[in-house]
Amino acid sequence: MKKLFIFFAALLLTCTTFAQTWHCGYPNAEDVTATFNGVALVIDGTGDMEDYDGSNMPWYSSLADIKTVVIGEAITSIGEYAFAGCRNLVNVTIGGSVTDIKFMAFSGCGSLRALALGSSVANIEAMAFFYCVNLISIEVWPDNATYSSIDGVLCNKDKTTLILCPEGRRDTYTVPNGITSIGGWAFYYCSGLASVIISESVTEIQPMAFSGCSNLTSVIIGSNITSIGESAFEKCNNFTSITNRNPVPQKITGNVFRHVVTQGDTLYVPAASLAAYQEAEVWGNFGAIVAISDKSNNDAEIAVAKNDSTLQQVLEAQKNNSAATTQNFVPLKIYPDPNINGQFTIDNEQLTVGEKIEIYNASGNLTDVYDVLSGASTTISVVHLPAGTYLVKVGNKVGKVSKQIDQTPNPHRGSLPENIYKVQKDDLKSR
């Protein structure tokens, strides 16, 4: 690994005849040297890097030009704000001796899409990768004793605590089974997420876990979650619905939904717990509290409609890629199809208020049950379901809808917000 670093660093530094050099070690500045050749910033030497405040890094005037950062094999700490605002940074190599990645170290690196942590990294401070809006994967060397990764999401070593979901993740995210705790700040400002499904293994959501997820419209809270920390859903101001599967309402304060107007949102709860949620503090403030069917209480595919000949007829036709006969069912009018935003509308002209709307995946497994609402149409949200084809059944009426993932690039790629450098550790401690 050391020979590879020396070769890579030498190659980068010979790309141009002009290079700038600074000392950036701590406590002895001369112990660590930074060299910039117009494209790559190489940090070499021994020991810790200096901490900065976001505007006093020696390479501050070149932030927009830095496309590659290489941290040497003997560097042990990446300083606060060290590479904050390197908006065109796309490649990062972290040496095997780095143990600490400090506060805001890579914040605002809007072009960074993937990162690999070496075996020695043992401490990643809050917001180290804040506003890395296109970061989709954080991988970890297998021999790291502190951290691990599940599909690019940072976890503790034994994969029981979800520590950090990269901000570039979009659409729907399902917390893996086996995770028992969602860490503080884990999804902080993941503005690309539309829905989150929290698995049944999770028992707690720590403070600030989903704070700032401004485009999050729905969350499914597993039935075993007993603790939800302060400001866990702060500034999630696009919520339309929350499904809470715990039969006992969690005791929470209003700060859990700080800056969220829940009076306009729908809370789905177990039917037997409807009265308890209506009377509970905070939960009782939701605009509508609706009982959910016991059939839709599991994350997995749960109820195969093997005895439903109407549904099976459509499934068989879909499997054979042919049009189903209309002998036994009436087509539903569903739009838009295909659909990207996770919501579709059913024309009510053939339906009756109170009828059950059943959502099935392509295998015939029941995923959700809703009621037909009054009015000309009923709008259903499937933002919490993965992309794919779904069948919608109301009595003997069946339709099909395809949910697709929005692949539009993140429009906020680039610089940090103007006030980003005003964020300090003391501000976080006071929350």
DSSP string covering 347-378: EGGG--TTPEEEEEETTSBEEEEEEPPSSSEE
- Is residue 277 classed as helix, strand or coil in its secondary structure? helix
Q: Give yes or no for a contact between 388 and 400, defined as CB atoms under 8 angstroms apart.
A: no
The pLDDT-based confidence of 9 (bands split at 50, 70, 90) is: low
Q: Please name the helix (run of DSSP H) or strand (run of DSSP E) that holds residue 312, with its range, or none.
A: helix 309-319
Residues 6 or more apart in contact with residue 22 via CB below 8 angstroms: 33, 34, 58, 59
Asked if the model's pLDDT at residue 425 lies above 70, the reply is no
The amino acid that residue 219 corresponds to is V
pLDDT in tens, 233-280: 999 999 999 999 999 999 999 999 999 999 989 999 999 999 999 999
Asked if the model's pLDDT at residue 374 lies above 90, the reply is no
Rounded Cα distance between 67 and 116, Å, is: 16
Mean pLDDT of the chain: 82
In 3D, which of 72, 113, 58, 104 has the Cα closest to residue 85?
A: 104
| DSSP structure class, residue 81 | T
Mean pLDDT of the region 313-318? 52
384, HSE (Cβ side, Cα atoms, 13 Å): 24
Looking at residue 3, its pLDDT comes to 52
The pLDDT-based confidence of 214 (bands split at 50, 70, 90) is: very high
Percent of the chain with pLDDT over 70: 77
Looking at residue 75, its pLDDT comes to 98
Looking at residue 298, its pLDDT comes to 36
- DSSP bridge pairs for 356: 371
Looking at residue 345, its pLDDT comes to 81
Looking at residue 359, its pLDDT comes to 83
The pLDDT-based confidence of 383 (bands split at 50, 70, 90) is: low
Q: Kindly list the distances between the CA atom of residue 199 and the CA atoms of 123, 174, 297, 366, in Å, as whole numbers in the listed order.
A: 26, 7, 11, 17
Residue 303's Cβ-count burial label (10 Å; 0-12, 13-18, 19+) is middle
Asked if the model's pLDDT at residue 322 lies above 60, the reply is no
Looking at residue 396, its pLDDT comes to 77
The amino acid that residue 269 corresponds to is V
Q: How do strand 161-164 and strand 153-156 relate by DSSP bridges? A: antiparallel
Mean pLDDT of the region 29-40? 97
Locate the DSSP E strands across 235-375: 241-244, 266-270, 288-292, 330-331, 334-335, 343-347, 356-361, 366-371
Lowest model confidence (mean pLDDT) among 39-48, 67-76, 323-332: 323-332
